[in-house]
Amino acid sequence: MIEGIKVFADGAELDKMVASYKAGEVSGFTTNPSLMKKAGITDYNEFAKAAVTAIPDMPLSFEVFADDFETMEKEARKIATFGDNVFVKIPITNTKGESSIPLIKKLSSEGVSLNVTALLTLEQVQDTVDALTPGTNNIVSVFAGRVADTGVDPTELMVKSLEMCKQKPGAELLWASTRELINIIQAKDIGVDIITVPPAIIGKIKDIGKDLNQVSLDTVIGFNNDIKALGYSIL
Distance CA(82)–CA(76), nearest Å, equals 10
Distance CA(93)–CA(1), nearest Å, equals 33
Question: Is-catalytic flag, 89?
Answer: yes
- Which position among 49, 89, 105, 204 bears the catalytic label? 89
Distance CA(36)–CA(71), nearest Å, equals 20
CB 162 within 8 A of CB 195: no
CB 125 within 8 A of CB 162: no
Measured from the Cβ of residue 92, the count of other Cβ atoms closer than 10 Å reads 22
Tell me the C-alpha to C-alpha distance, in Å, between residue 124 and each of 44, 69, 101.
28, 18, 9
CA angle, residues 87, 101, 188, in degrees to nearest 5: 50
Distance CA(153)–CA(30), nearest Å, equals 24
CB 75 within 8 A of CB 104: no
Backbone angles phi, psi at 215, to 5 degrees: -60, -40
User: Which residue, 25, 7, 18, is CA-closest to 197?
Assistant: 7
Active-site residue list: 89
